């Protein structure tokens, strides 16, 4: 019994940070008192400055009628430690800090269920997971798990509410305890002043010692318990230097070199047959300017000479023979100087641009828009014959299996259109207007009458 009492005394001394009423919490500066409303205790934060109000576990005497309840500290907060009188007996809840409960022999702690409002009764266990039983083999200790019931307390009988703030008093001035910041922004020595946050959360002051005082009469500025100072600037959070970004992957042209050293990100013009670009800083680009052509840098940018093209381009020389086959609008009207039709890459709509006599040599970085060797021209609507008429639903859905068409990302494109004589069975999905043949020049890729969708792997 003496060993048990010594253990209790040790535990109480180790956790005297729990105080009730208006008594100062252990370790708080001289001249500072902290209090919580009735039914709550002042509890110090573990591992740092500051305090908060926590429910008093002895409210309502969970030890039972005729028994006494005292506060026992633990790593998880205060718990009730019971002194038991007949017909109750005392049982120990083992752990890093033992405490006692009262029970009536032979009475199961979960039968009847003491938990209200849908709470779950859970038997307590020993350190090895063994049941805690009395001399009759009955489980005598349990707790209530209130879960998402909206209630709290030992038996889930109390409606959940936010804990009230700690009230601090310094030199006769009382107010909510200012929040202490766990940041070293008040000095660099081994024991710097502690930063205390304004009620607005936008500024801070530095208070000597280990604790903040109350928010002052203006409802915003903290009062230091002792000496303190206001740094300049005192904005919170404090401005930080931009985090260095890793270099962007892949070739960035002239971006990130020479005069463009601070601008490492290459951002291409929109669907530009010449492959022009600008250089943006580490924040990159986010679309295009109002002309829907030139790239827009999120922050700052640099326009390289000739928009990144390799010097003045030699004049275009007409090919020895004009391109063969239908060239659409290329070579006529406004596109008179651009006779070569170059198609978008695997485009179900059959869009194209017009290049000059030097023709085209693949696609831009998006692997979609064609790239002219020299100069090019983007015809209205990318060569499609005016704005397409609105798609009208067919009288009935297309017959037979349509693969992925009409589902998921292809929901708006229910018609499956196969590649021409394709041994792999590839296809694209067209809208309700369906398909109308194949795109030149190889007449392999299907062409949608209006709009289409290319499924992953062409549906294979």
Mean pLDDT by 10 residues, the chain (460 residues): 32 36 38 89 82 90 93 81 94 85 93 94 89 90 91 90 92 93 74 87 90 93 91 82 69 87 89 86 86 84 83 49 80 83 82 85 77 80 62 60 85 84 77 79 74 80
Last residue of a domain, one of 267, 282, 308: 308
- What token pair was written down for 276? 């022009």
Q: Does residue 434 share a domain with residue 288?
A: no
pLDDT digits (tens, 9 = 90+) for 331-376: 888 788 888 888 888 777 788 888 888 888 887 767 778 888 877 7
Do 264 and 354 reside in the same domain of the chain? no
pLDDT at 16: 35
In a domain, 283, yes or no: yes
**Measured between alpha carbons, how far apart are the two ends of the chain, in Å?**
79
pLDDT at residue 128, as a whole number:
85
Q: Are residues 37 and 53 in the same domain?
A: yes
Same domain, residue pair 376 and 273: no
Give the three-state DSSP class for 10. Answer: helix
* Residues 6+ positions from 259 with CB-CB distance below 8 Å: 302, 304
Q: Is residue 165 part of a domain?
A: no
* Residue 174 in domain: no
CA 289, 275, 427: angle at the middle one, nearest 5?
95
Residue that is last in its domain, among 282, 308, 334:
308
Predicted local confidence at residue 241, as pLDDT? 56
**Could you say which of 159, 193, 225 is where a domain stops?**
159
Q: Check: CB of residue 369 under 8 Å from CB of residue 265.
A: no
For 323-389, give the secondary structure using H, E and C.
Answer: CCCCCCCCCCHHHCCCCEEEECCCCCCCCEEEECCCCEEEECCCCCCEEECCCEECCHHHHCCCCCC
In a domain, 73, yes or no: yes
One domain for residues 47 and 123: yes
The tally of domains found in the chain comes to: 4
Using DSSP, state whether 139 is helix, strand or coil. strand
Do 42 and 131 lie in one domain? The reply is yes
- Residue 242 resides in a domain: no
Cβ atoms of 176 and 153 within 8 Å: the answer is: no
For residue 75, being part of any structural domain is answered with: yes
pLDDT recorded at residue 388: 44
Pair 374, 425 in one domain: no
Counting other chains too, the contacts that 373-377 makes at CB distance below 8 Å and 24 or more residues apart are: 374/274, 374/313, 374/314, 374/316, 375/273, 375/274, 375/313, 375/316, 375/337, 375/338, 376/273, 376/274, 376/338, 376/342, 377/273, 377/330, 377/334, 377/335, 377/337, 377/338, 377/353
Partnered with residue 343 across adjacent β-strands are 352
Query: Does residue 67 sit in the same domain as residue 10?
Result: yes
Q: Write out the residue range of the structural domain in which residue 63 sits.
A: 2-159
Residue 187 domain-assigned (yes or no): no
Asked whether residue 23 is domain-assigned, the answer is yes
Same domain? 342 vs 433: no
What is the model's pLDDT at position 433? Answer: 84
Whether the model pTM is above 0.95: no
Q: Domain check: are 330 and 293 in the same one?
A: no
User: Do 326 and 303 lie in a common domain?
Assistant: no
Q: Residues 17, 155: one domain?
A: yes
């Amino acid at each position: 019994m003496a060993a048990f009492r010594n253990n209790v005394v040790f535990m109480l001394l180790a956790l005297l940070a729990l105080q009730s009423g208006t008594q100062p919490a252990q370790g708080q500066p001289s001249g500072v008192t902290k209090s919580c409303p009735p039914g709550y205790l002042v509890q110090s934060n573990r591992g740092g400055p500051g305090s908060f109000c926590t429910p008093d576990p002895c409210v309502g005497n969970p030890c039972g009628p005729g028994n006494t309840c005292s506060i026992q500290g633990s790593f998880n907060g205060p718990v009730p430690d019971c002194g038991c009188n007949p017909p109750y007996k005392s049982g120990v809840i083992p752990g890093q800090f033992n405490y006692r409960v009262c029970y009536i022999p032979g009475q199961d702690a979960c039968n009847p269920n003491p938990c209200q409002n849908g709470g779950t009764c859970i038997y307590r266990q020993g350190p090895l997971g063994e049941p805690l039983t009395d001399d009759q083999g009955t489980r005598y200790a349990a707790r209530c798990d209130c879960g998402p019931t909206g209630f709290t307390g030992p038996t889930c009988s109390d409606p959940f509410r936010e804990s009230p703030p700690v009230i601090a008093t310094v030199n006769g001035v009382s107010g909510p305890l200012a929040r202490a910041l766990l940041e070293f922004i008040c000095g660099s020595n081994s024991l710097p002043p502690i930063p205390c946050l304004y009620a607005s959360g936008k500024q801070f002051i530095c208070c000597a010692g280990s604790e903040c005082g109350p928010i002052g009469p203006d409802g915003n500025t903290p009062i230091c318990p002792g000496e303190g100072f206001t740094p300049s600037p005192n904005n919170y959070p404090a401005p930080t230097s931009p985090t260095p970004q890793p270099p962007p992957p892949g070739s960035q042209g002239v971006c990130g070199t020479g005069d463009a050293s601070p601008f490492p990100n290459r951002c291409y013009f929109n669907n530009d047959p010449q492959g022009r670009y600008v250089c943006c800083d580490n924040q990159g680009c986010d679309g295009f300017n109002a002309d829907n052509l030139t790239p827009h840098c999120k922050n700052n940018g640099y326009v390289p000479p000739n928009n990144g093209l390799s010097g003045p381009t030699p004049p275009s020389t007409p090919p020895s023979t004009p391109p063969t086959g239908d060239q659409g609008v290329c070579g006529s009207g406004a596109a008179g100087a651009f006779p070569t039709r170059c198609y978008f890459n695997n485009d179900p709509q059959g869009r194209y641009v017009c290049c000059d006599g030097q023709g085209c040599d693949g696609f831009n970085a998006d692997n979609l828009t064609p790239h002219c060797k020299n100069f090019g021209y983007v015809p209205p609507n990318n060569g499609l014959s005016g704005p397409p008429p609105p798609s009208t639903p067919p009288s009935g859905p297309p017959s037979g299996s349509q693969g992925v068409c009409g589902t998921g990302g292809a929901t708006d494109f229910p018609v499956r259109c196969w590649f021409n004589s394709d041994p792999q069975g590839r296809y694209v999905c067209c809208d309700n207007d369906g398909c109308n043949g194949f795109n030149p020049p190889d007449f392999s890729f299907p062409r949608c009458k209006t709009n289409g969708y290319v499924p992953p792997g062409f549906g294979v």
